[in-house]
């Protein structure tokens, strides 16, 4: 599938001005790019930054119907919506829009149930690797070494591979994408929208507020996470993994930019020792190796 | 045998089957449920009906009670009539979303098969449902399988009334009702359809008319919302008897009372007040007492939320003595029913001799002889 630039330029405005997002918010870019690619979306949002940036009731900056729901109830509420709209014979696209806390941690059982039932839902996880909404606490998506308010000495454990857990459910479509490559993200969403069943798209979404990075370089951080091999882009269809064009060359570690180029631009990694960086680099390589087994 | 579509059938069925039959007759469009003893027979019976094509519904076999309530909240807001059922720990696990449904006004109907809480025990008491008396749900307590069926059908009409628009629990005692067969009259589908028209959403998630449900709300907004919920309950006090009247006229039997009175209130020395099946046992108890020349009467609230204050006070004014029996405890105080009745006595300056006891926790048997003995005891003490 090849989406042309003019199509992306003319997409509907789904996130209106006056929202509460911070400067350089990666989530906002991810939301605008992904949701605008969908036909008649209904979006379910659990507790996360997306439940806050929409503004204060009765004002709302989302231009699509939105159900705010409890943290661990995203995919269950979306299941109900998808079934109800099927029952009513209405043509809509049911979407879960969750952060990594809601997907990796508290809502894992909920989406696992919905994925096993193969509910007709597109589940987006915008991943900034911590609880951004509540003030930068650790999640299981937080990379090793990152300082958060609950890991003030840097996280000691590696980041969980939620995609491989999702892949074990054998759902029809899985993709990773980055706000650094909006056309790739938009295309993957379009592609997902043509498939029925449970679809999952993980989006790397930098958070300058929590990462302690310059808001002006949010898209650049998105690119760097791909170029350093920190966040590989790929699709998994019917159990088979394909690395995306933007990522394929970084399968060979020799082609990757040094991970330090990515880490040094973020305050959260400032205190990492070279030993910790070595461990982090091993974590990244391990993930590439495990993903390569699915090719 | 070909059965008439117009005439009621009489069948022997358990409370669980009565719930499932009532649900089927009410035509829910989305059902989401997770099994828990003693509610299991409800979901099994409904699953069978769905598999055989007897109900046109989307049935979601969710992976937890939390997700069951999540799914019906989503389905309700997407414009469909919804149903689930649970019990005990299932209700507690669902708890966050039980409150979500209550506070954001989701008109779902949920029978709760009353069962004790931990340590593991599957037998009946009211501790589970009482933990949610403040959650913004209407609560009925049924005394027998017939009432379970009738109230479940009424519950949809009550929940979905645009001046009420809130979730409804229909509570039935585990095993005593859920697993015990009794004669139940099943109304014909045509009559139920006449009583209960299709679901009419008050607000719906619709791409043609987008809005955000449950979004970030400031104190003023929360205040307005809570005041509107209080108004909804006040409306329910007026509308529930009207809806029960309509059911009785169109379908039969049920009666429009919030509190059922059994026995002769005139000259009664004591009124026994209890919920659910204990209320029905008390009906037997007054017969036993009358053999000993003791005149007693039973007031059985079948609606606990909204609390039927007006009806209660007018009844209590006519008796000298009350015996309130609770099947749950508000630990650190007393039984919930007793506490609430005492509050009304004070508010209305009613002077009455007041006795309260807690019975039947964890499924301890409470039979009519026990209840009669309690009445004799308080009379003897004087």
What are the pLDDT digits (tens) for A88-127?
999 999 999 999 999 999 999 999 999 999 999 999 999 9
CA distances in angstroms from B261 to A277, B171, B264, B273, B376, listed in the order given: 76, 19, 8, 10, 20
Q: Cβ distance A52 to A21 under 8 Å?
A: no
Q: What pLDDT score was predicted for residue A88?
A: 98
CA distances in angstroms from A232 to A125, A128, A160, listed in the order given: 15, 15, 14
Q: What pLDDT score was predicted for residue B2?
A: 52
Selecting from B69, B70, B75 the residue whose C-beta is nearest the C-beta of A83 gives B75
The CATH number of whichever domain residue B244 belongs to comes to: 3.40.50.970
Q: Cβ distance B72 to A69 under 8 Å?
A: no
* Helices vs strands, H then E, count in chain A: 12, 8
Q: In chain A, which stretches have pLDDT less than 50?
A: none
The CATH number of whichever domain residue B346 belongs to comes to: 3.40.50.920
Residue B2, domain member (yes or no): no
Q: Which of B204, B222, B250 is the last residue of a domain?
A: B250
**Locate tokens 């043609």: which residue?**
B208
Identify whether residues B86 and B55 lie together within a single domain.
Answer: yes
Residue B4, domain member (yes or no): no
Strand partners of residue B33 = B61
Contact B216 A109 (CB under 8 A): no
Identify whether residues B245 and B366 lie together within a single domain.
Answer: no
Residue closest to B247 by CA, chosen among B192, B293, B287: B192
Identify whether residues B200 and B340 lie together within a single domain.
Answer: no
Q: Which of B250, B277, B310 is the last residue of a domain?
A: B250
Eight-class DSSP state of A107: T
Count other Cβ atoms within 10 Å, centred on residue B355.
18
Identify whether residues B264 and B358 lie together within a single domain.
Answer: yes
- Which region, left, alpha or beta, applies to residue B165 given φ > 0 means left and ψ of -120 to 50 means alpha? left
Separation between Cα atoms, residue B137 and residue A227, nearest integer Å: 54
Chain A touched by B63 (CB under 8 Å): yes
* pLDDT digits 0-9 by tens, A29-58: 999 999 999 999 999 999 999 999 999 999
Count other Cβ atoms within 10 Å, centred on residue B248.
15
Separation between Cα atoms, residue B321 and residue A208, nearest integer Å: 69
CB pairs under 8 A between A and B: 162
Chain A touched by B84 (CB under 8 Å): no
Give mean pLDDT, residues B243-271: 96
Separation between Cα atoms, residue B143 and residue B152, nearest integer Å: 13
CA distances in angstroms from B249 to A116, A262, B246, B301, listed in the order given: 46, 74, 5, 21
Strand partners of residue B303 = B140
Q: Could you report the predicted ipTM of this complex, rounded to two decimals?
A: 0.96
Identify whether residues B319 and B369 lie together within a single domain.
Answer: yes
Which residue range(s) make up the domain with B309? 259-380
Residue B5's pLDDT band, with cuts at 50, 70 and 90, is low
Tokens of A73: 């109830």
End-to-end CA distance of chain A: 20
Q: Helices B336-347 & B309-316, crossing angle to 10 degrees?
A: 70
Tokens of A290: 């495990």
Interface of A with B (CB under 8 A): 40-42, 44, 51-52, 54-58, 60, 62-70, 72-73, 75-81, 83-88, 92, 109-110, 112-114, 116-117
Residue B382's pLDDT band, with cuts at 50, 70 and 90, is confident
Q: What pLDDT score was predicted for residue B8?
A: 83
Identify whether residues B178 and B84 lie together within a single domain.
Answer: yes
Query: Strands B30-33 and B82-83, how do they pair?
Result: parallel
Chain A touched by B58 (CB under 8 Å): yes
Number of domains in chain B: 2
Q: What percent of chain B has pLDDT over 70?
A: 98
Residue B4's pLDDT band, with cuts at 50, 70 and 90, is low
Identify whether residues B263 and B358 lie together within a single domain.
Answer: yes
**Locate tokens 């509420």: which residue?**
A77
Q: What pLDDT score was predicted for residue B3?
A: 52
Q: Which of B222, B250, B278 is the last residue of a domain?
A: B250
Q: What pLDDT score was predicted for residue B51?
A: 96
Nearest residue in chain A measured CA to CA from B216: A56
Identify whether residues B234 and B342 lie together within a single domain.
Answer: no
Which residue range(s) make up the domain with A257? 5-292
Separation between Cα atoms, residue B178 and residue B366, nearest integer Å: 17
Q: What pLDDT score was predicted for residue B21?
A: 98
**Locate tokens 């929940």: which residue?**
B159
Q: Cβ distance B160 to B200 under 8 Å?
A: yes
Number of domains in chain A: 1
Chain A residues inside the 8 Å CB shell of B79: 84-85, 88
Residue B31, domain member (yes or no): yes
User: Residues A169, A171, A174, CA angle at the centre, nearest 5°?
Assistant: 110
Q: What pLDDT score was predicted for residue A288?
A: 98
Contact A68 B58 (CB under 8 A): no
**Locate tokens 């929590």: which residue?**
A210
The CATH number of whichever domain residue A67 belongs to comes to: 3.40.50.970
Identify whether residues B218 and B276 lie together within a single domain.
Answer: no
Separation between Cα atoms, residue A197 and residue A200, nearest integer Å: 10
Residue B73, domain member (yes or no): yes
Q: What pLDDT score was predicted for residue B1?
A: 47
Identify whether residues B199 and B279 lie together within a single domain.
Answer: no
Residue B9 distance to chain A (closest CA, Å): 30
């Amino acid at each position: 599938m090849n989406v042309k630039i003019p199509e992306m330029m003319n997409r509907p405005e789904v996130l209106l001005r006056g929202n509460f997002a911070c400067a350089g918010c990666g989530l906002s870019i991810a939301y605008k790019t992904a949701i605008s690619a969908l036909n008649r979306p209904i979006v379910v949002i659990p507790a996360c930054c997306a439940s806050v940036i929409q503004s204060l009731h009765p004002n709302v900056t989302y231009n699509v119907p939105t159900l705010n729901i409890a943290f661990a109830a995203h995919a269950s509420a979306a299941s109900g919506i998808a079934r109800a709209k099927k029952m009513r014979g209405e043509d809509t696209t049911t979407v879960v829009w969750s952060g990594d806390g809601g997907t990796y941690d508290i809502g894992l059982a909920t989406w696992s149930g919905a994925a096993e039932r193969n509910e007709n839902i597109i589940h987006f996880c915008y991943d900034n690797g911590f609880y951004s909404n509540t003030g930068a606490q650790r999640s299981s998506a937080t990379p090793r070494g990152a300082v958060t308010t609950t890991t003030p000495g840097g996280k000691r454990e590696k980041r969980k591979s939620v995609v491989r857990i999702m892949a074990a459910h054998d759902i029809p479509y899985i993709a990773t994408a980055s706000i650094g490559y909006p056309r790739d993200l938009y295309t993957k969403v379009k592609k997902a929208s043509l498939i029925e069943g449970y679809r999952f798209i993980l989006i790397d979404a930098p958070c300058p507020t929590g990462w302690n990075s310059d808001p002006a370089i949010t898209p650049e951080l998105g690119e760097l996470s791909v170029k350093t091999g920190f966040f590989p882009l790929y699709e998994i269809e019917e159990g088979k993994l394909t690395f995306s064009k933007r990522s394929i060359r970084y399968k060979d570690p020799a082609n990757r930019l040094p991970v330090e180029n990515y880490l040094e631009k973020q305050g959260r990694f400032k205190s990492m020792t070279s030993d910790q960086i070595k461990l982090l680099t091993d974590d990244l390589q391990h993930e590439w190796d495990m993903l390569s087994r699915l090719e | 045998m070909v059965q008439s579509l117009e005439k009621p059938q009489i069948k022997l069925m358990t409370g669980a089957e009565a719930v499932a039959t009532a649900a089927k007759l009410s035509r829910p469009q989305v059902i989401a449920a997770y099994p828990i003893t003693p509610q299991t027979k409800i979901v099994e019976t409904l699953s069978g009906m769905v598999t055989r094509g007897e109900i046109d519904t989307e049935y979601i076999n969710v992976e937890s009670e939390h997700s069951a309530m999540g799914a019906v909240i989503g389905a309700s807001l997407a414009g469909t009539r919804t149903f689930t059922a649970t019990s005990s720990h299932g209700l507690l696990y669902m708890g966050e979303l039980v409150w979500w449904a209550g506070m954001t006004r989701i008109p779902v109907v949920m029978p709760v098969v009353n069962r004790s809480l931990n340590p593991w025990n599957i037998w009946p008491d009211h501790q589970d449902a009482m933990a949610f008396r403040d959650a913004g749900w209407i609560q009925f307590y049924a005394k027998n399988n017939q009432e379970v069926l009738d109230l479940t059908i009424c519950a949809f009409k009550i929940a979905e009334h645009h001046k009420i628009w809130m979730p409804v629990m229909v509570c039935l005692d585990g095993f005593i009702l859920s697993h015990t067969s009794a004669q139940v009259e099943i109304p014909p589908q045509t009559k139920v359809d006449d009583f209960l028209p299709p679901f009419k959403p008050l607000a719906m998630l619709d791409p043609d008319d987008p809005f955000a449900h449950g979004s970030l709300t400031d104190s003023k907004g929360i205040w307005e919302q809570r005041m509107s919920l209080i108004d909804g309950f006040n409306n329910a006090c007026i509308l529930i008897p009207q809806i029960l009247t309509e059911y009785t006229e169109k379908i039969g039997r049920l009666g429009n009372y919030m509190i059922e009175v059994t026995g002769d209130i005139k000259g009664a020395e004591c009124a026994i007040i209890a919920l659910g099946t204990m209320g029905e046992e008390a009906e037997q108890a007054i017969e036993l007492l009358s053999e000993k020349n003791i005149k007693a009467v039973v007031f059985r609230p079948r609606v606990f939320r909204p609390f039927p204050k007006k009806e209660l006070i007018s009844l209590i004014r006519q008796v000298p003595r009350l015996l309130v029996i609770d099947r749950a405890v508000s630990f650190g105080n007393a039984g919930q029913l007793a506490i609430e009745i005492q509050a009304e006595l004070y508010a209305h300056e009613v002077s009455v001799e007041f006795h309260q006891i807690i019975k039947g926790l964890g499924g301890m048997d409470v039979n009519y002889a026990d209840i009669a003995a309690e009445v004799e005891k308080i009379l003897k003490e004087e």
